[in-house]
Structure 1
Amino acid sequence: MAFLIVLAALCFLMFVAYRGYSVILFAPVAALGAVLLTDPGMVAPMFTGLFMDKMVGFVKSYFPVFLLGAVFGKVIELSGFSKAIVSSVIQMLGSGRAMLSIVLVCALLTYGGVSLFVVVFAVYPFAAEMFRQSDIPKRLIPGTIALGAFSFTMDSLPGTPQIQNLIPTTFFKTNIYAAPWLGSIGALFIFFAGMAYLEWRRRSALAAGEGYGTGHSNEPEPFDHSEKLANPWVAILPLVLVGATNRLFTDLIPKVYGKSVEFIPAVIGKATPVTQDVTKVAAIWAVEGALLVGILSVIVFAYKGVIAKFAEGTKSAIAGALLASMNTASEYGFGAIIAALPGFLVVANALQSIPNPLINEAITVTSLAGITGSASGGMGIALAAMSDFFIQAANTAGIPLEVLHRVASMASGGMDTLPHNGAVITLLAVTGLTHRVAYRDIFAITLLKTSAVFVVIAVYYLTGLV
């Protein structure tokens, strides 16, 4: 019975998310409903002492990354740099390689630190123009953008500043460059397999005589080729600076601060010293510093264009960052309560019975990411509940924690893109398409992404590469 209560709570949250209701509202409802059915007297204590504690803790750790990432993406958009980057890639590759162009542009922007939600809005008008000119079915645009923005640059490539690559650092005390060889191999597998799939779909449509189509909704205005764009080398420089300073700060912060820092707040009376464990936050500090450098560089290079629209533009970016972080934080609090219920022991014991620690971790993370419809939320739930078990099992088997980091990160971006995923819903809404028309290709990319985790695990055991 206890297990059925946990399962019902998970299914309820997945259902309301699929129907478009706010996770911020219904995550605590689902969690506390499960507590009510298990132990009614613990509803209030678990809400205050566990749900809110974990939710606020997530916001404390990661909201600055959400905020700075959203602002960086917005100033890249306001400056016109995103248009210049997209246009340059298209010119280099040619209009005949529409799919490859869009995948590479999405990858460049997300690896450079731009939020994947921002990438969807920035790239879609150009994708529609290129697909229209090349007479490729519009229904293939969501799968193409998903491959570029939601897959290998989100959590596979070492150094990506996306939140899915940051969360494991706080549990395993690693940095975002963990397991660079495995991450790169996984990224190449996803890229080539994904492109092969998309090209097969394009050729199949061509053979069937299907083109871009007519009567679509949310069609963007045709691209104005007379518009003067920024120099592409200047446009890409902020992205390069984010990557370079991120690497610099990752190395520099531990050297400057050591393993921990202690300070006494300047308050009247006797104050208790505050100790900050730098090993847990160094990777987060590095990304925050790099994004700040990126934002400032865009303002310097395109001062007039950015400042004129900065006040209004950043309002929407901040609102988006608040919504994204609170959605994930609510799921994080939900996971903490579910993990504390007796019914979760059935799940945990079943998962722990998988003898291989890496396969165990991959299945656990990707399953919970799929259930919650969130890569970061599912991974947060899994690692909050079972990271100590993963670490102990890895130490026993002699597996470096860097490998645990990369497997968890990649697994989180596997089955998370089920129909109720927020990014999927946003992508389909922006492109004016429905699940019935376009989700098939997103799901295919999801399967490829999930299989890549097990490819990486196999490569590790066969070669010992990290």
Structure 2
Amino acid sequence: MGLLGLLVGLGLLVLFAFRGWSVLLLAPVAALVAALFGGEPLLANLTQVFMTNAAAFLAQFFPIFLLGAVFGKLMDDSDAVTSVAAFMAKRLGERRVILAVVLAGAAVTYGGVSLFVAFFVIVPMARSLFRAAEIPRRLIPAAIVLGTSTFTMSALPGTPSIQNAIPMPFFGTTPFAAPGLGIVASLVMLGTGLWWLHRAEAKARGAGEGYGDEVEDAAERAAFDEFVRERATTAREFDPAELQHGHRSDQPSPVLNAILPLIVVVAVNLLMSLVILPRLDVSYLAEQRFGGTSLAAVAGVWSVAVALTAAIVATIVLNWSRLPALRLTMDAGANASVLPAFSVASLVGFGAVVAALPAFTTVRDWVLAIEGGPLVSLAVATNILAALTGSASGGLTIALDALGDTYVDLAARTGIDLALMHRVAVIGSGTLDILPHNGAVVSLLAICGLTHRDSYFDIVMVGIVTSLLALVAVIALGSAVGSF
């Protein structure tokens, strides 16, 4: 009955989340259903397991949600994201439209701009470029997914995405874990994704397919669509409803002022991770008032938090005249972080209840028994949970909460570098999460005025297939030569 309860609870979560119900309600209900079938005490599971683990997730990662959302809103309202995108388009020209859209998305998301801010800015630019080049608009979502939701989310060393931050406390790693393997994975994703998109473009031109009919006001409708909002907030760290608040500049930011904050994120993250924090005396962290922890457990989050803070300051200083309503902008950014953070925390609470059920030992033993070793079983676990929840961050946290200590022990026994574990876990979480019910997919299609039937196959090819190829490459290389 315990295993049945686990499956029923997970099924309820997936079914009703797909129908647009709030995860804030669904996750505790699904957790209690699983506990009920397992004959476990309901109130104890709700307050001592679900809430404790949800609160622990917020305590650990809310600074990244908060700072990332504020930075994204500042970049949006100063029109800096538009400037970066326009710069890419101008430099690459109409003959390399697809590459321009992909690299524009990659530049802003690797620089720390929230995914949904990037969506609402890059989609109009992509429409203009694709229309002028007579490339079918059905390929726009795939090009944006490739640039924003693949290698810059899970593979590029130092990416400030929440997915890259989640393994750090579990494995004691930094945002730059396994940098060489991350670069290899990024090249695989980018190269195969661009190959597929150019192949699709050539095939469409050969068939005489043009740009297609435009859907008016699709982006504006998507911003106010509650279904889109509920799906979006479990996918990434920004509530799309807050894009309508604040005050966007009437004048675009100079391109240098727009790009510098993105560079600050990467540079400060690198300095904090590899130079500054390792030289600090933080022995005080062992004191009980600081949680009796260690630098390895907090260094990653500290690095990303300081990098985003520095980027926020840089954005304000460089774009002061283009932020006439700074308080409103900052408030909107802060508000945009709350619902996503609590939604993912609720998924974490659900996962904690499931992992505490006696029946979960069957699932754990099955995962660990998968042939191919710890790296393969870790990749399978993160893939499955991200797919079921439709959330890379939620699925990754559930997997590591339940199995993180086990994989640390396995790494010690088998000689696997924890940095390699980190990179495999993050890439694994960013593959099958891009299923039809994924919030980023639902939101992007709505913003573009397209349907799954129009564009989802190409999204699968550039989002799932390329990431799976990269994951296989990282596991094969890591198993053969170790982490680098």
Which stretch of structure 1 is more off in the superposition, 395-404 or 446-455? 446-455
Shift, 1:219, TM fit: 5.3
Residue 370 of structure 1 corresponds to 387
- Cα pair distance change 1:111/1:413, threshold 3 Å: same
Residue 435 of structure 1 corresponds to 452
Residue 28 of structure 1 corresponds to 28
Q: Which residues of 2 match residues 170-209 of structure 1 at below 5 A?
A: 170-209=169-208
Does 2:242 correspond to 1:243? no
1:70/1:118 contact within 8 Å kept = no
1:217/1:433 contact within 8 Å kept = no
Residue 409 of structure 1 corresponds to 426
Residue 60 of structure 1 corresponds to 59
Does 2:345 correspond to 1:329? yes
Residue 304 of structure 2 corresponds to 287
Question: Residues of 1 paired with 2:350 and 2:287: CA distance?
Answer: 33
**AA in 2 matched with 1:317:** G
Alpha-carbon displacement from aligned partner over 1:277-324 (angstroms, at most 9, x marks no partner): 332111111111111110111111111211x13233333322321111
2:219/2:446 contact within 8 Å kept = no
Residue 159 of structure 1 corresponds to 158
Residue 471 of structure 2 corresponds to 453
Q: Which residues of 2 match residues 194-273 of structure 1 at below 5 A?
A: 194-218=193-217, 229-250=252-273, 251-261=275-285
Alpha-carbon displacement from aligned partner over 1:98-131 (angstroms, at most 9, x marks no partner): 1111110111111111111221112111111111
1:50/1:333 contact within 8 Å kept = yes
1:260/1:278 contact within 8 Å kept = no
Question: Residues of 2 paired with 1:4 and 1:220: CA distance?
Answer: 41
Question: Residues of 2 paired with 1:217 and 1:433: CA distance?
Answer: 11
Residue 91 of structure 2 corresponds to 92
- Cα pair distance change 1:353/1:232, threshold 3 Å: same
**AA in 2 matched with 1:26:** L
**AA in 1 matched with 2:81:** S
- Cα pair distance change 1:4/1:212, threshold 3 Å: same
Question: Residues of 2 paired with 1:274 and 1:460: CA distance?
Answer: 34
Residue 316 of structure 2 corresponds to 299
From 387, 393, 404, the equivalent of 2:404 is 387
Question: Residues of 1 paired with 2:118 and 2:310: CA distance?
Answer: 20
2:2/2:39 contact within 8 Å kept = no
Which stretch of structure 1 is more off in the superposition, 421-430 or 227-236? 227-236
Shift, 1:72, TM fit: 0.6
Q: Which residues of 2 match residues 335-374 of structure 1 at below 5 A?
A: 335-355=351-371, 356-374=373-391
How many residues are aligned here?
A: 452
SS in 2 for 1:144: helix
Residue 81 of structure 2 corresponds to 82
2:4/2:37 contact within 8 Å kept = no
1:13/1:30 contact within 8 Å kept = yes
1:257/1:278 contact within 8 Å kept = no
Alpha-carbon displacement from aligned partner over 1:312-352 (angstroms, at most 9, x marks no partner): 33333223211111111010001011111133222111111
**AA in 1 matched with 2:476:** A
Question: Residues of 2 paired with 1:231 and 1:273: CA distance?
Answer: 43
- Cα pair distance change 1:434/1:315, threshold 3 Å: farther
Question: Residues of 1 paired with 2:64 and 2:39: CA distance?
Answer: 37
1:35/1:341 contact within 8 Å kept = yes
**AA in 2 matched with 1:245:** V
2:143/2:197 contact within 8 Å kept = yes
Residue 19 of structure 2 corresponds to 19
TM-score between both structures, scaled by the size of structure 1? 0.93
Question: Residues of 1 paired with 2:325 and 2:147: CA distance?
Answer: 28
- Cα pair distance change 1:6/1:48, threshold 3 Å: same
Shift, 1:254, TM fit: 3.3
SS in 2 for 1:261: helix
Question: Residues of 1 paired with 2:20 and 2:210: CA distance?
Answer: 31
Question: Residues of 1 paired with 2:287 and 2:37: CA distance?
Answer: 45
1:260/1:276 contact within 8 Å kept = no
Question: Residues of 2 paired with 1:274 and 1:3: CA distance?
Answer: 34
**AA in 2 matched with 1:396:** R
Does 2:442 correspond to 1:419? no
- Cα pair distance change 1:259/1:380, threshold 3 Å: farther
Does 2:325 correspond to 1:317? no
Question: Residues of 2 paired with 1:120 and 1:248: CA distance?
Answer: 29
Question: Residues of 2 paired with 1:145 and 1:30: CA distance?
Answer: 33
TM-score between both structures, scaled by the size of structure 2? 0.90
Alpha-carbon displacement from aligned partner over 1:60-113 (angstroms, at most 9, x marks no partner): 111110111111111111112112111111111102211111110111111111
SS in 1 for 2:285: strand
**AA in 2 matched with 1:288:** A
Question: Residues of 2 paired with 1:259 and 1:460: CA distance?
Answer: 33
2:101/2:126 contact within 8 Å kept = yes
Question: Residues of 1 paired with 2:107 and 2:290: CA distance?
Answer: 43
2:257/2:315 contact within 8 Å kept = no
1:78/1:309 contact within 8 Å kept = no
1:128/1:220 contact within 8 Å kept = no
Shift, 1:259, TM fit: 5.0
Q: Name stretches of at least 5 consecutive residues in structure 2 with no aligned partner.
A: 221-249
Q: Percent identity?
A: 40
Shift, 1:217, TM fit: 4.0
- Cα pair distance change 1:342/1:431, threshold 3 Å: same
